[in-house]
Amino acid sequence: MLMKRRNACVKVARELFALERAIDAALVKAAELNAVMPIATQEANLSAVVIQDAFERSAATFAALAQARRHVVDTHHCLDETKVRIGLKTFAFGDQDKLPPPKGILETEEPAERRAA
């Protein structure tokens, strides 16, 4: 029974991580579009008025994607809680090492050439 739960957990985790990556990729593309529209408008010697409606819609798309990302992060936290409730407390999805260090703790590594000296 525990192995079935673990396998289900892995399956859900894979899809969750894929969704997180997809939303981040969409956010990047939306940001790139938002960044290039005013530049292209200036390069074409056009008034900002010409592209304003499209720019606002694109910015709204970015905001919606940011909200979607918030929902996915919330889903991630809920699934972490569910994992504990079904007896998989020690099972890690593989993203635990991606968390930043606790506040005030930062370890740096010297470049290889300095260590060799």
Please report which confidence band the pLDDT of residue 111 belongs to, taking 50, 70 and 90 as the band edges: low
For position 102, what pLDDT does the model report?
Answer: 54
Segments forming the whole domain that contains residue 100: 2-116
For position 69, what pLDDT does the model report?
Answer: 98
In total, how many domains does the chain have?
A: 1
Q: Does the model's pTM come out above 0.75?
A: no
| Burial (CB count <10 Å: 0-12, 13-18, 19+), residue 114 | exposed
Q: Compute the mean pLDDT over every residue in the chain, rounded to the nearest whole number.
A: 86
Alpha carbons 56 and 53: distance in angstroms, whole number? 5
Three-state DSSP state, 40: helix
